């Protein structure tokens, strides 16, 4: 249990952060310029379109690193643009179900080609097929690992644990 990372780890870590920063920057600009969407808004629409059925706010919050109030805020912006609708769930009166509208799908269609082009030009042009598979595997593992083992603080972001966390 040393408290350093070896040089290969440092290189991987900083490389990862830098690459994703550059990618995020480009992707955000594209989404904003071509569709007036923030990245989170894009994620919400993409998730709804991909799942192809209404999701609750909590469903949406899963998978997006986001506070609930932040999600409410972004959903409000999407709704104001007519890209989603929100209505009370028939099953659970507390829950809100979110639907994507036709306009929402259309907006996604507007944005997607440019989005994909940016990602391909920036990221995939430098990776061969085997790299892509490997990267996908590694990120899949890492995600499962991260999701299953919340950080040291064990501070829940979205849920109550029952154990009070003093602060």
Partner DNA sequence: TATTGTTATACTCTATAACTATA
Partner DNA sequence: TATAGTTATAGAGTATAACAATA
**What's the token pair of residue 2?**
């040393």
Which CB atom, from 80 or from 164, has the smaller least distance to its own copies?
164
Backbone angles phi, psi at 151, to 5 degrees: -55, 165
Question: What span, in angstroms and rounded, lies between the C-alpha atoms of 139 and 19?
Answer: 14
Asked if 151 touches DNA (CB under 7 A), the answer is no
CB of 44 to DNA, least distance (A): 11
* Contact criterion met (CB below 8 Å) for 114 and 69: no
**Which residue is listed with tokens 């990776």?**
127
Contact partner, 16, from its own copies, DNA, none, Cβ < 5-8 Å per class: its own copies
Give the residue with the Cβ less far from its own copies, 29 or 92: 29
Phi-psi group of 123: left, alpha or beta (phi > 0 → left; psi -120 to 50 → alpha; rest → beta): alpha
Nearer to its own copies, 88 or 138 (CB): 138
- 3-state SS, residue 87: strand
CA-to-CA distance for 60 and 68, rounded, in angstroms?
Answer: 10
Residue 110 binds DNA (CB under 7 A): no
Q: Which residues bind its own copies (CB under 8 A)?
A: 3-5, 8-9, 11-13, 15-26, 29-30, 33, 63, 65, 112-113, 116-127, 129, 131-136, 138-147, 149, 151-153
Q: Which residues bind DNA (CB under 7 A)?
A: 25, 38, 40-41, 56-58, 61, 65-77, 86, 89, 92-97, 158-160, 162, 167
């Amino acid at each position: 249990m040393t408290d350093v990372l070896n040089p290969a780890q440092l290189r991987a870590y900083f490389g990862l952060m830098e690459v994703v920063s550059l990618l995020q920057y480009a992707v955000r600009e594209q989404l904003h310029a071509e569709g007036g969407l923030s990245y989170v808004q894009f994620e919400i629409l993409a998730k709804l379109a991909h799942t192809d059925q209404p999701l609750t706010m909590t469903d949406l919050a899963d998978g997006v690193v986001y506070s609930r109030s932040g999600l409410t805020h972004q959903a409000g912006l999407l709704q104001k643009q007519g890209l989603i609708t929100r209505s009370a769930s028939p099953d659970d009166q507390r829950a809100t179900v979110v639907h994507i509208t036709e306009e929402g799908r259309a907006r996604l269609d507007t944005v997607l080609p440019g989005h994909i082009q940016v990602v391909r030009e920036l990221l995939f042009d430098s990776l061969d097929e085997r790299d892509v598979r490997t990267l996908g595997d590694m990120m899949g593992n890492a995600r499962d690992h991260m999701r299953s083992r919340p950080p040291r603080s064990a501070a829940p972001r979205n849920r109550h644990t029952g154990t009070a966390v003093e602060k």
